[in-house]
Every structure is written in structure tokens, then in C-alpha cells.
Structure 1
């Protein structure tokens, strides 16, 4: 077997802990080490294998720790695993786990806890919406188990002993290591789940192995976490308490931020230019690996009119993304005509015809296509767009409504809370739905796999050629060839209407240190942060 340590630099980091917060020269720690961060919506679940939301992942990352973590730039660094070996054929990974890793109840973290967590993810009895994530990792038998064709205990993950975990893959997978900081791959303590059942994630019941423990969860209001004294690197964790505060209205959140109730929040659309001028040390914008789009329901439950690719193309052509980005959002976002975020590591942006057209030509073509389909302002195509509560989503939806109306589309806007919105998407109970996908790992397949017939894929897009391209990409010497072809299928079939690629446009108090501003994934760890004295 060929031995792979993370890198020489990372191996050296074991002696001088870069795993937790490092106080910068000249900084003095504040007496109170508490961090209050904004949440747009309530956290649906803190179960690592059942969560589907970015904000849920942010919380779970504090309560649990996987084999790998990410550093401030997004590079993979040791978590519970100290190092790993990969077989010469790339099919077997062997992870050595740190012996001092502990659950919050003091029990040791064992390799079997990872086996149990991964098996929970693929077990059909748990109906995990992220079961497909273990499949795209190409873990042996994952697909067969998800499809009910094999037993859960045949999954290609084995506890060799308490501190040695072996993972077998069905094919070499270049991005495999990058998936291991994702919540779906986190360990879970089986005895706690069996004791408490569905209530195992409640405060007082939840036992995690992360740097923090769950001390309170008032759903839709606040979620609180406090430092875990059993965490293996607890002596280097500085923040004592993390509190997520739910505020559905970003303008209200900004007011609460300015009142000192929040230490970080997303800047409302259109306000970054003003705020960056008034508060240059607090307003920031940097690339964030999420893409914003309107999903089209391509399933049997969808509107017949939207099964016409020319109608979907007309909708895509009719949106002036430059206005949305430059006049509505104004925070460094980029117009998008494709799915994969432009800043994803190694991704090469494909040439897409729509992107090279002038907006005048796009609008004229949209009008022509709708007229061919029989729709005009006097005989409009009536559609409903679902979106979750947010003033920004509302602003974009209103702009889309105004842009489409002269072309012959009458758009009804349907606002709902996040849980209802996602439940309806999961049940294909929508026509068009506002959606954003944020990368699960820093490689293009994390976006493109979404539209696999077996992917998360709420609109149920199904294209055999697309699936085959992504299968080929896994072992391709240059996967960008397959990624380009896959993006071009999406651009032709349009199961989504791309709108823009995200930037992280935030207000962050100057005393908050350790926020990973160079990580395009925006995956943050409270253990790496601290509050400096003002």
C-alpha cells in the first residue's frame, strides 16, 4: 500500500495546533467569548445524516467532527483521522483515528461510530435525502443498499479495530477525500440513537464529538451551543458559546446587527455599496460556491407547458441577469448561465450560447419562442413561482415577474417558510421553485451530480446521456471534458433557470477573528475563531 500523509506542512501542524483558534499577534482576547450569528430560517434538524440545509450543516459542524476538516483556505486537514493510506489501485482507503477523540459523554470515538453513521445515511429505513451522497463517493454497495437490493451491513466501510477505519470504493474517485468534511459522513453514537429514538438530537440527549455541545434549540428562534470539555483539542478552543439567531427579514437582521445583537449577518440586496463605504472594516464580499436558480418541475406532477424545452428556454432568455446582479443585489455576485459556480477549484467555464448573446437578442428570442408556443401578453402562460421567506428572494422574484410579463408570462409569487418550501419541492409540489445549491465539496461534480437521475434533483430531471457523462468523469484524466458536455446538456434542456453565482456579502464585527474568508466553501468552525478585545 502507498502511504499518504496529508502534506508535510500538515504533519508538522500536529506539534503547533493549527486545528483550533490561533490568536494573532497584537490581539487581546475579550473577557466574554461568545459569537452570535444570523440564521435566515430555523434549523430543521441537527441529525448529520438527515440534514439537507447549509445552515444546518454550519451547526452540525460545531457539534460533530468527521474524518477531515477544512482549513481557512478550504484545504483538507485532519479531523478525527490523523492520516490515511490509499491502495495503489485507489479503491481502498485506511484511516487512522486519533486515540484521544471523545464523545461529549466521555466515551471514546471508535471506527464503528463512523460505520454506523454511514450505514444510517444509506439505510432506506431512514429515508435520508442525502443517501445519494454516499453513492457519489462510490462507496462499495451504496447504490445497491439505497435501492433495497443489498443489506445495510454490506456497505464498503469497516472498523478494522477501534482506531482503524477502512473504506472500499467501487472505482477510483479523485474527489473522495474532499467529501469527508461533509456532515453526511460524520460519526454517530449508536447507543444514543437507540436510547432516545427520534428525540436523540434534542438538547440534553444529543451526544456529539465536535468542539461544542447542544445546549438549547428553540426552533425558529435560537440555537445555542457551548464548549465541549471532552473535545480532543478543547484546550485550544477559545469561543465558549455560539448562538444562532433566526431572523427571517434581513433588514431587521441588519438593525439587530447594528444594535450589537448579532456579530455576523448577510447584507440585504442592494445595500453593500453603501455599507462598504460607511463600514469598510465590516462589510465584505468574496466568492461563495453557491448557485441561485429557479428549478423547473420536470416530473409527472409538473405543468405540461413546462415540459416544452423551448418554453423553458424562453424563460431563461427573458431574465436580464445583469439588472438582477448590478441593480438588485449589488454585492459582487456574477450573472450565471450555467450551474457550476465559477470559483470551484479546477472548473473550466464552458461556452454557452445564451451567455454570449446581447440581452436585446435574448429578449427577442424569448418572445419569439413563446409566441410559437402560443403565448403572448394577451394570452399569457400562467405560472406560479414558490420561494422561501426572504426580502432578497422576493425582490428577485418581483423583477422576474416584471421581465417575463411583456413576453407573455403571468407569474404568481407564492411565499412560504423554508420547511414548507423544501417539503413541497421534495414532493414535486411546485411549478417553478427558487433554489440554491451550495457545494458539498470543492469540485465541480458536487454541482453536476445534483441533476443526476439519482441525485437530489427535486425537479426529477432524467437524462441518460447526462448520467453517463458524470459516470465517465469519475475516472477521467480530464473530467472537465465531461463536465463541459454535462453543462451543455443542462443549457440545452434547462431543468433549471440559472440566475447568478453567489458572493458572500456579509457584515462581520471587526472583533470577530478567524472567519475563513478565503474558503470558497464558506465552511466555518467555531473552534478556529475568537473574540478580540475592542
Structure 2
């Protein structure tokens, strides 16, 4: 029997119930003197396409969702599970899961958060009419009838989730899944307020309309400029929330953003300018940070008929991959502890061992020699050149990497056109396969290898290159019921390397700068899931 019961009591609750924590002069747990200004400002790399939990498909919107909404479970600073709307969760067989909701969970308009709200949201995520980019995630979670619902063969009401009563949610899975509770942390499984969605349609997330259940509510937003959140007085843990206001500024240019950070305009930024980290670490050791982050940077190869004909040939894809000198990118361009990637799954993934990939063991000279031979075997080379379109979203870092890689490909007779697009346009172009090669990154939705490997199955909507291998599909399906799927994951990685399904480049670190007055940042959370409700600002005097 798997059973969890964690009461949502913390040391913070020892403070008086008559005033919020931020009103005190010292932190109620640590005793640190608190600053009078308890606001938090940070840099957004791109304008988020959506903050609708069932429509979000990227990390910028995901970070905002964690402030605005709360799912059944959330995470501690080290990534372990803690209660969210659910106080308890249990399963006798890892196949039927029961979640008991807290009585004091409220929407920002005062309505209680009920089990029916989760049923509504999860059915909405799976419903083809919603057109969620994460409908596949509902399938991946093994919820009963998820595949039939997402394919339109069954009504959303047949999804294996039901409200036993207002405070009891029951989830039935097609197969036992011991890590299912981890999956509920993801924004796709956050609740949405049915009356608001039904009343306002696509406009329900506008500041004037939105109703949310997280520690913060949306106050104001200007597209491509900023977003502002303020405390939600209806949040069940409002008495413990210290930061009163959050502002995110959209700044595409990393150098401009860093200058503004150093001028004191905001408190945190990640995606630092390429190569800047060693200097920042030396000059500001209490400000610059680099920690593992569960993301892999890679190039997606369009393997459909809309892509270049040569890219249908695995020999060409393999040659392109072999020519990429990953050490140059990690050690000379980025310089922030990133690891060269020869397989897809990030090395820091829990209970995952990187398999031995042959070409990872070769010297770069050996890889380059083999690449030229493969291109010649495929009928291409300097005498029969290829012109490829490589797209990337606006970022000086992406541009630098694309420029370096395009130069590395030249000895193969490959000319590369570099095409830069703003985030939303880039997502649309990539999602519609209107490219040859696309800059991509995948960040784990939960800490288990399947979050990476399932991306390259045929059914996954985020498999933008449309790579398809029946054996990979079957192995990933079989892995769900295995007590130890690691050997299967290793086999899948080797198949991906043989097919060169994608061109892996490096495994991320989370390199960022943070104002040292901001405390309790979750540097040990490899998923980079942060909750502003947990942080606070200390006084400088």
C-alpha cells in the first residue's frame, strides 16, 4: 500500500493569525530582519502565449501558473512533494489514486475549490476541442480512457477521474504508475474555475476576468512589456505569504537584461548572456549561481515532407550531429557548467543512468571523419551541397550557438540560413513543421526519464520533428508497467542515437543572477519549479 498523509502545517503557522508574515519586522522562522519592501521583480525572456493551465506549453507561462494556480500537490525547495489543494493522497495498488482536498481551499472570488473543478480541468485538457498542446500529457499519465478521449473516440466525461464528493477526487489509471502524484504538480493538471471559463471563453484569463486559486492573482499585463501579480487574500495559506507583489518584465536581449539587473531594476534573471557566467561568478559570487536543471538543448529535425528531402535520410542527420563540437559550445560559448549531450535524457534525472552511446566515446576528429563519409554515402557533400533553414527564437545565446553550428557544418557542404522569430511566431512555425531544423529545448515535466523519452514517441504533440519509430513507441508503452524501466530507457536512447531522432547538444544548468536580499530560492529543485509564496526579502541594514 502506498499512502501519504502530510498535514499542511509549517513553522510559519506559529506566527499570529492577526497579521500576515510580511507585516512583521523579522521572519517568523529564521528571525532575519525583513525589508519593508516585499516585492519581487524578474526578467521574462519571452511573452508567454497563455496562462491558461490547459493551454500552456512552455516554461515562461509555467512559472506564472505556479504563482496563479495551485494543483493537488506542489513541491518543496528540494523538489520533494508537499500538499497543495490536496492534504492527503493514497493508493492501494498505484492504479487507483485518491486525493483528499483541504476544506479551506478557495478561488480568488471566494468560491470553494472542489474535486469537480479538477474533473472539469482534466477533462478540458484531454478534450480535442480545447486543442491543448499537452493533451498527450494526460495520456502519458495513464488515466483510464485518456487515449480514447484525446483522439475524439470517447466523450471527455469518460476520462478516468471523478469527484466522489466535494473534497474527494478519485483517479483511475489504465496501468499502475507509482510516480503519478509527481505528475499532478504539472500545470496541465491545475484546476480551472468552471463558471469563469464558461462565461468568458478564451478571454477568461484577462486580468478583468480571471479567477485563480494560487497565492497570487493577476492584476495587470501589457503584451511584450510586463505582467504584474498581487497577493490573493483568499488563498488558504495567505497568512504565510511574505512577498506582496510580483512583476515580470519581457526583455528578449540578454545583455540589455543583465545591464538592467545590475542597475537594480529587478531581482532575478536566468538565460544569462553566453560566456558571461565566469566573470559574474568572480565579480559577484553571492549573486551568480549555476545549478543542474532538468532540461536538454537540442535541434529538432523536420522529418516530414515539408522539411528538406536530405533530412529524411538518417545518415545526413547523423552526419550533422557528428560535426557539432559540443565541447566548444559548452566550454567556449556558454561557460556555465553545461554538459555536452550525446543522448536526450538529462544526466541529473532521478534513477537514470546515461547509457553508453558509441559516438560519445570518439574523439571529435573521429566524429568529423565519420560525418564526411556518411554524407558522401548519402550522396551529398561539397560537390552536391545542401541549403538548410535553421530557425530559433529571439535570443542572443540561440543566435551564437546557431552561428557556431552553421560554421561547423560547412565542411559537409551545408549552407545554413539562420531565421530568427519572436516566441509565439516561432512556436507556431515549429509546431506546423514549416522549418528544416529548429532550436529546441525540453525541460522535464516531472523527475523521471519518461518525461524526456516519451517526447519522441509518435503520438506526442510536442514531437515537432515528427520522428516516428514503432519500436520506440512500444518500448515506452511497455516501460510503464516495469518495476525497473532503466534498461528499457537505455535501449530507447540507443535507438534514438542510431536514428539520430534529434541532434542533442547540451544538458542545461540553471545559471542565473539573484539579488542576495531574496532568500529561500529553491536552488536544489532540478525541475526549476519555484513558488514566490516561499521566498522573502531581508533588510540590508
Question: Paired residue for 1:166, among 164, 170, 176?
Answer: 170
Give 1:98 deviation, angstroms: 0.2
SS in 2 for 1:325: helix
TM norm structure 2: 0.96
Find the counterpart in structure 2 of residue 5 from structure 1: 4
Which ranges of structure 2 fall in alignment gaps of 5 or more residues? 15-20
- Tell me what 1:55 maps to: 60
Moved more, 139-148 or 300-309: 300-309
Q: 1:14 matched to which residue of 2?
A: 9
Task: Give the C-alpha shift of residue 15 in structure 1.
Answer: 5.1
* Secondary structure at the counterpart of residue 313 of structure 1: helix
Q: d(CA) in 1 for partners of 2:421 and 2:143?
A: 37
Separation in 2, partners of 1:506, 1:516: 12
- 2:504 matched to 1:498? yes
Q: Which residue of 1 aligns with 2:200?
A: 196
Q: Distance in 1 between matches of 2:343 and 2:502?
A: 9
SS at match of 1:50: coil
The answer to whether the Cα contact below 8 Å between 1:367 and 1:408 also exists between their aligned partners in 2 is: no
Indicate the residue corresponding to 2:425 in structure 1: 420
What do residues 3-29 of structure 1 show as CA deviations (whole Å, max 9, x unaligned)? 6125xxx44x62535899976635211
- In structure 2, the partner of 1:533 is 539
Q: Answer yes or no: is 1:487 the counterpart of 2:486.
A: no
Q: 1:92 aligns with which of 72, 91, 96?
A: 96
Task: Choose from 107, 127, 142 the match for 1:123.
Answer: 127
Matched, 1:68 2:73: yes
Are 1:304 and 2:315 matched, yes or no?
no
8 A contact 1:297–1:495 mirrored in 2:
no
- Asked if 1:138 is matched to 2:142, the reply is yes
In the other structure, the counterpart of 2:513 is: 507
Work out the CA distance in 1 between the residues paired with 2:236 and 2:516: 29
The answer as to whether partners of 2:12 and 2:28 remain within 8 angstroms in 1 is no
Q: Deviations over 1:50-96 (max 9, x none)?
A: 00011100001100000000100000111000011202x32211110
**For 1:217 and 1:377, how far apart are their aligned partners in 2?**
51
Q: How far apart are the structure 2 equivalents of 1:404 and 1:529?
A: 45
SS at match of 1:5: strand
Q: Deviations over 1:124-147 (max 9, x none)?
A: 111111001010000011100111
SS at structure 2 position matched to 1:69: strand
Q: 1:370 to 1:209 in 2, by over 3 A?
A: same
Deviations 1:444-475 (A, max 9, x none): 10001101111121111111100111111111
| CA 1:3–1:467: 2 relative to 1, 3 Å | closer
Moved more, 205-214 or 366-375: 366-375
Conserved? CA contact 2:116–2:163, under 8 Å: yes
The question of 1:468 aligning with 2:467 is answered no
Structure 2 counterpart of 1:284? 289
> CA, structure 1 residues 464+274, in 2 after alignment: closer, same or farther (shift >3 Å)?
same
> Within 2, Cα distance between the matches of 1:446 and 1:175?
11
- Structure 1 position 219, deviation (Å): 1.4
**Structure 1 residues without counterparts, runs of 5 or longer:** none
Aligned to 2:18: none
Deviation at 1:302, TM superposition (A): 2.1
Asked if residue 323 in structure 1 is aligned to residue 318 in structure 2, the reply is no
Conservation of the 8 A alpha-carbon contact between 1:174 and 1:474: no
Q: Flag the 1:16–1:27 CA change in 2: closer, same or farther, 3 A.
A: closer
Residues 159-308 of structure 1 correspond to what in structure 2 (within 5 A)?
159-266=163-270, 267-308=272-313
Whole-angstrom CA distance in 1 between matches of 2:243 and 2:125: 31
Sort the Cα spacing of 1:24 and 1:279 in 2 relative to 1 into closer, same or farther, 3 A. Answer: farther
Q: Secondary structure at the match of 1:166?
A: strand
- Partners of 2:401 and 2:347 lie apart in 1 by 21
- 1:368 is matched with which residue? 373
Q: Which moved more, 1:194-203 or 1:367-376?
A: 367-376
Any conservation in 2 of the 1:102–1:109 contact (CA below 8 Å)?
yes
User: CA separation in 2, counterparts of 1:223 and 1:434?
Assistant: 26
Which 4+ runs in 1 deviate beyond 6 A?
18-22
Cα distance in 2 for residues equivalent to 1:210 and 1:104: 8
Q: How many residues end up aligned between the 2 structures?
A: 528
| Alpha-carbon contact 1:84-1:96 (below 8 Å) kept | yes
Distance 1:204 1:494, change over 3 A: same
Matched, 1:353 2:358: yes
Q: Quick one: distance in 1 between partners of 2:13 and 2:374?
A: 57
Indicate the RMSD between aligned Cα atoms, in angstroms: 1.5
